[in-house]
């Protein structure tokens, strides 16, 4: 039951950096905020497997295929950790997937863009996973225990994802003129959607005030975005890529000033009008339906095991 006393005690725990665990009392608004953010994070991990999964059979070498397969498998595992962590808040996996298929839950807009060349595998690993690392390293300190522990586990794998992407881009930039052009075009396709991953500007972020008060977020959208920009521009320049922003400049404090994001595009893609929104959800729903028999078999197997244990 929510009253001033338990609200006060809850906020005192948050302020004292005590992790909130599933069995602890929490305000319903805090629980709903976490279900929303954590499930959307999980959906993003799983939908994010599509643009890369399309390239596993078309990788340019056996080594490249092994690396990409490992990365895509990791993303599926990240989705699993995050769905399991979300279920500790008392919501079922089925319900979360239903909300996704009904368009009531989001996933990162960056995954609604096409990946037409092998260089897109490099740009996604380097930029999308690079942005995810900045966001997720910060989320390791989130106030909800299961989310924080999932982030610690996920971050251990993300740096491999970012490095393999950057290696693809660096290799292409040492290649033929055509390969350099392919890498530059992929950079231009993924630069701005990666900056959008950090969400709207702090002043336009309706969720941030609660997120910061409850220490779900430890740094703001704009602060994290700036960290990513300051880290990534030197990496791009090191391998000879041209920053897709005519106005960017290095400031005296070592940070970069960049043009503003096209927020009409941001909200338009989130509303469902991106290049791949329909296809991503259709493919996810088809895979979910085709996998029904696997879930049923696993449940039947588990029930049989439990019966045998009872009889033993």
Whole-angstrom Cα distance, residue 189 to residue 181?
12
Interface with ligand 3HC (CB under 6 A), residue from 20, 30, 45, 117? 45
Stretch that binds ligand 3HC, among 24-32, 200-208, 275-283, 296-304 (CB under 6 A): 200-208
Residue (of 93, 138, 33, 90) closest to 292 by Cα position: 93
CB atoms within 10 A of CB 212: 15
E strands, the chain, in order: 249-250, 256-257
User: Could you give the string, one character per residue 210-249, with x where binding to ligand 3HC holds by CB under 6 A and - elsewhere?
Assistant: -x---------x----------------------------
Q: Which residues of 66-105 are buried (b: 16+ CB within 10 A; e: fewer)?
A: ebbeebbebbeebbebbbebbbbbebeeeebbebbeeeeb
128 makes contact with ligand 3HC (CB under 6 A): yes
Residue 108 is a binding residue for ligand 3HC (CB under 6 A)? yes
Q: Which stretch binds ligand 3HC (CB under 6 A): 55-63, 89-97, 191-199, 297-305?
A: 191-199
Based on C-alpha coordinates, what's the Rg of the chain? 21
Shortest reach from residue 296's CB to ligand 3HC, in Å = 29
Q: Decide: is 100 part of the binding site for ligand 3HC (CB under 6 A).
A: no
Q: Which residue reads 């339906």 in tokens? A: 289
Site of interaction with ligand 3HC (CB under 6 A): 36-37, 40-41, 44-45, 48, 75, 78, 106, 108-109, 128-129, 132, 135, 158, 196-200, 205-208, 211, 221, 270
């Amino acid at each position: 039951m929510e009253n001033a006393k338990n609200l006060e005690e809850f906020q005192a725990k948050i302020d004292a950096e005590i992790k909130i665990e599933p069995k602890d009392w929490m305000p319903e608004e805090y629980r709903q905020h976490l279900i929303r953010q954590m499930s959307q994070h999980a959906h993003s991990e799983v939908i994010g497997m599509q643009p890369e999964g399309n390239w596993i059979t078309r990788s340019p070498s056996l080594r490249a295929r092994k690396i990409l397969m490992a990365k895509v498998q990791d993303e599926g595992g990240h989705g699993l950790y995050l769905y399991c962590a979300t279920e500790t808040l008392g919501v079922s996996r089925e319900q979360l997937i239903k909300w996704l298929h009904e368009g009531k839950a989001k996933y990162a807009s960056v995954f609604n863009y096409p990946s037409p060349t092998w260089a897109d595998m490099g740009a996604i690993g380097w930029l999308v996973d690079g942005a995810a690392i900045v966001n997720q390293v910060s989320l390791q300190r989130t106030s909800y225990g299961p989310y924080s522990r999932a982030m610690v586990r996920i971050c251990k794998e993300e740096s491999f994802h970012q490095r393999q992407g950057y290696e693809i881009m660096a290799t292409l930039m040492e290649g033929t003129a055509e390969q350099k052009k392919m890498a530059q075009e992929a950079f231009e396709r993924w630069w701005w959607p990666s900056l959008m991953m950090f969400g709207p500007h702090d002043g336009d972020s309706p969720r941030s005030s609660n997120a910061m008060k409850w220490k779900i977020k430890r740094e703001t959208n704009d602060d994290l975005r700036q960290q990513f920009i300051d880290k990534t521009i030197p990496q791009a320049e090191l391998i000879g890529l041209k920053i897709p922003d005519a106005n960017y400049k290095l400031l005296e404090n070592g940070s970069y000033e960049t043009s503003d994001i096209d927020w009409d595009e941001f909200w338009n893609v989130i509303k469902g009008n991106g290049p791949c929104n329909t296809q991503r959800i259709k493919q996810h729903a088809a895979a979910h339906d085709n996998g029904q028999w696997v879930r049923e078999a696993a449940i039947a197997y588990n029930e049989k095991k439990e019966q045998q244990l009872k009889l033993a």
